[in-house]
Amino acid sequence: MTTVHVVLPGDIDDPVNPSGGNAYDRQVCRGLAALGWTVREHQVPGGWPRPGEPERAALGGLLGGLPDGATVLLDGLVASTVPDVLAPHAARLRLVVLVHLPIEGETERRALDAATVVVATSEWTRRRLLARYPLAPDRVTVAPPGVDPAPVAAGTPDGGRLLCVAAVTPVKGHDVLAAALAEVADLGWTCDWIGPLDRDPAFVDRLRERLGGTGLADRVRLAGPRAAAELAGAYAAADLLVQPSRRETYGMVVTEALARGVPVLAADTGGLPATLGHAPGGDRPGLLVPPDDPGATAAALRRWLTDPGLRDRLRRAARRRRDTLTGWPVTVDRLATALKEATAA
C-alpha cells in the first residue's frame, strides 16, 4: 500500500471560509483513500500564503520529521512562498506541489524547483507555469477539478434568477457586476451573491453603499457563505450563473452550474473560457465578455433577460455540455499517476 503525506492549509474544513482550492484538496484526499492509498493529512494553521516565522518553522519541523523517500503532496498556497523551507528536504523527500493559483515570481520559481513533480489544476495554469519558469514540461502535469452529478435545474420563464458564487473581493469582480446590474435595473431580476464577506471588509462596505445608492440593495442579496446543501439549492434555483472575475485559473463554480444545466455568463479571462467549454456540436453553454468591463457585462445580461430564444439556446447547450463533464474520480486518477511518478523518481 502506498502512503502520501498531504500538507494542507489549516482552514481546509472551515465552513465560514470555503474556497475552491480547499474543496479540491478535500475531494482528492478522500479519492486517494478510496483508491487504497494511505493518506496522512498534516494541516498547517497560519496566514498562508504569508506565513510568519513560527508557521515557517512548524512546516520545516513537519517536513524534517518525515522519513526519507516519503511522497509529500503540498497545497501550493502553503508551498509556493517558502522555497527556503522546502529546499533542505528536496533531495530526500518526493515533493509534489499542487498549484491552484500561480503566485508568479522568484519565490514561486524557487519553490517549484524543489518539487519532484508539479500538478496544475488547469491547462491554463500549466501553460502559465511553463511560460514563466524553466520547468521541464514532463515535470508539470494537470489534474483538473471534477464535478459531482446533479439534477437539471428547472429554470424560470423570464430567466431573472441570477447567481454569483465567489468570495466578495476585487479579484472576483463583484464591483463590475454591481455596475452592470445598475445598467439593467429597468429589467426584472434578482441576484444572490454567495461567498465569504470577510476577505476584504472595506470592499464589501463600498459595494453595499453602491448598491444602496443605485436602489439595488433589495435585489442583490449578499448571502455570505452557505453549507453544501444550501449552495446546491441555490444552484438548483438559478437561471444564470454570473462569474465576473478579473482573474480565474479554472472556475469550479462554472462546472457546478453546468452540472445542473445552468448557463454561465463569465469574463473571458484565464481558464474560464476552457472551463465553460462547448457543448457537442460547438455551441457555447453561456456568454463570454471582456474582464473588468461593466458595459459589456450589462449588455450580455440585457440580452439574456430580453431574448427568450437566446435563453432557450443557451439552456439547451448547457444541458448538452453537462453530459461531457468529468467527475472527481478522473481528477483523482490523474493525481495518483503524478504521485506514482514522483515516488518512482
Domain span at residue 137 reads 3-145+326-344
Asked whether the predicted pLDDT for residue 187 surpasses 60, the reply is: yes
Q: Do 230 and 330 sit in the same domain of this protein? A: no
Q: Quote the CA–CA distance of 141 and 146 in Å, as a whole number.
A: 16
Q: Do 41 and 92 sit in the same domain of this protein? A: yes
Any domain includes 152: no
Q: Do 263 and 284 sit in the same domain of this protein? A: yes
Report residue 242's pLDDT band, with 50, 70 and 90 as the boundaries: very high
Q: Do 18 and 132 sit in the same domain of this protein? A: yes
Predicted local distance difference test score (pLDDT) of residue 244: 97
Window from 10-19, 44-53, 148-157 with minimum mean pLDDT = 10-19
Q: Contact at 8 Å (CB) between 147 and 127?
A: no
Any domain includes 71: yes
Q: Contact at 8 Å (CB) between 250 and 125?
A: yes
Asked whether the predicted pLDDT for residue 1 surpasses 60, the reply is: no
Any domain includes 93: yes
Q: Do 105 and 195 sit in the same domain of this protein? A: no
Asked whether the predicted pLDDT for residue 7 surpasses 70, the reply is: yes
Domain count, the chain: 2
Q: Do 88 and 176 sit in the same domain of this protein? A: no
Any domain includes 191: yes
Asked whether the predicted pLDDT for residue 113 surpasses 90, the reply is: yes
Q: Quote the CA–CA distance of 333 and 324 in Å, as a whole number.
A: 18
Q: Do 174 and 299 sit in the same domain of this protein? A: yes
Q: Do 70 and 135 sit in the same domain of this protein? A: yes
Asked whether the predicted pLDDT for residue 60 surpasses 60, the reply is: yes
Closest to 10 in 3D by CA, of 68, 55, 57, 63: 55
pTM of the model: 0.93
3-state SS, residue 121: coil
Any domain includes 150: no
Half-sphere exposure of 319 (CA within 13 A, CB side): 11
Report residue 14's pLDDT band, with 50, 70 and 90 as the boundaries: confident
Any domain includes 44: yes
Higher pLDDT, 71 or 104: 71
Any domain includes 151: no
3-state SS, residue 300: helix
Asked whether the predicted pLDDT for residue 135 surpasses 70, the reply is: yes
Q: Do 179 and 318 sit in the same domain of this protein? A: yes
Q: Do 331 and 299 sit in the same domain of this protein? A: no
Report residue 83's pLDDT band, with 50, 70 and 90 as the boundaries: very high
pLDDT in tens, 198-235: 999 999 999 999 999 999 999 999 999 998 899 999 99
Q: Do 165 and 299 sit in the same domain of this protein? A: yes
Report residue 16's pLDDT band, with 50, 70 and 90 as the boundaries: low
Cell of 139: 515535470
Report the side by side order of strands in the sheet with 38-44: 38-44, 3-9, 71-75, 94-99, 117-120, 140-142
Predicted local distance difference test score (pLDDT) of residue 10: 82
Any domain includes 154: no
Q: Do 68 and 205 sit in the same domain of this protein? A: no
Q: Contact at 8 Å (CB) between 7 and 75?
A: yes
| Cα separation values, 13 from 7, 17, 24, Å | 14, 8, 11
CATH of the domain at 280: 3.40.50.2000
Radius of gyration of the chain (CA): 21
Cell of 326: 468529468
In this prediction, residues 296-308 reach a mean pLDDT of: 98
